[in-house]
Structure formats: structure tokens, C-alpha cells
Amino acid sequence: MSYPRLVVFDLDGTLVDTAPDLVDALNFVLAQDGLPPVPAQSARKMIGAGARALIERGLERDGRIVDADKLARMTEDFIAYYAENIAVGSKPFDGLVGALDILESRGCRFAVCTNKLEWLSKRLLDRLGLSSRFAAICGADTFGISKPDPAILRQTVARAGGDLAATVMVGDAGPDIGVARRAGVPVIGVDYGYTDVPVRDLSPDIVISHLNDLPAAVELIGNKRTVR
């Protein structure tokens, strides 16, 4: 079996349930502008493309458009507030640590490829005691590119000391499926994350509903590669 040696994860909605703190930060900046809060369930579907996009989506919900300078100030306020409150309600999805332990025992290494800023990603994972599990933690600012541009995944794999031919991506939304497809990497979709398009409709190689199922899914990817 050609077992994948590097498992690359999206962060928000895949590794960690960050919605409580992201929604809190969004509603903080909206309140500063006199706008009503976005309900948590609605806001979850807006997450995944970075802070600026989340704010834009929150504004659009109330039919608001702001100029570039105003949006930049709101984004700065969002990041400052979020950085101070990054792990108040956020927590790893159930089964994560056990899945990492099993995969590590089988020779796998791990990396994070996210559209979140790198320093925020590292701060979050530090607060949750997870940073040491990952050979590389790369964000939209690490290389100046974002998912689904395949260059961010290729460079994340390189930074982690991996090989694209022995890599699998795990994510919850379109940018994750797209970056994997464009980089020629198999992808496992999780259906519990943040997306307005069901992950099954994005046609990942495998869909799982719980991280307890991740080791078996990674093994299945390896078996498929062996058959080819």
C-alpha cells in the first residue's frame, strides 16, 4: 500500500470549531457600526475565506456596502479583537487528537494549509496545545496566496518536508477541494464544517462525518493509489 505520508488540514471548520469566536468578532465590528448581530447559524456559512470576506458577507446580509478604507479599518478591528479572544469558545472537533495519534503511529506527518493569517493560526493552535503536532502551519499571508490557488498547497507540502505524491488534503469547503484538485492531491471532505454548498456536492474523493473515521479514509486513499 502507498500510504499517504503527509496529511494537510484546513483549519476553520475542519480541525477546530472556531465559529463561536469568529462570529463573536464579526458581531463586535458590526455593532461598532450600529448594525445588528448575525445569528450564529447564519454566520457559520460565511466563514472560510478570511476576515475581510467574513465582514463583507456580514455587511451584505444587511444590504450594506462600505468603501475600501472603511472595510480595511473594520478588518483591522476584527483581527485585533479576534486575536485577544481567539480561543474563548473555539475547540478541536471531537475525535481529532485520537485520529492524529492513530495516523502518527502509522507514519503520517501533518500540516495546516488555511486562508487564516499564519500568526493567528499559530496562536490558536498554541492556545489549544496543538501546534507541536504540525510540521508546517501556513496561512494566506505565508506565501501571499490563498486557496484554491494550488501554489499554497504545494509550498505548504514543501515546507513540511513532504511529497505531493504522498499527500492527502482534508477540508470542509470549496477552497479546500479546489486547491487539492488543482495540485493533483486526493482530498477528504468533512461534512460538519462551514460551507453554504454541501461538501458532497463538491465531489471530494471521500466524505466523512466524524474525525474518528479519518484514519480509515486516509488508508482507503492509500489503497486506491496502490491499485492505480
168: nearest Cα among 135, 127, 122, 217 = 217
Question: d(Cα 191, Cα 207) in Å, to the nearest integer?
Answer: 7
Q: What is the dihedral of CA 81, 76, 149, 227, to 10 degrees?
A: -10
Residue count (the chain): 228
Spot the catalytic one: 10, 17, 21, 205. Answer: 10
* Amino acid present at 3: Y
Name the β-bridge partners of 92: 16
Element (H, E) at 111: strand 109-113
Active site residue 172: no
Q: Which three cell numbers stand for residue 138?
A: 501556513
* Residues with catalytic roles: 10
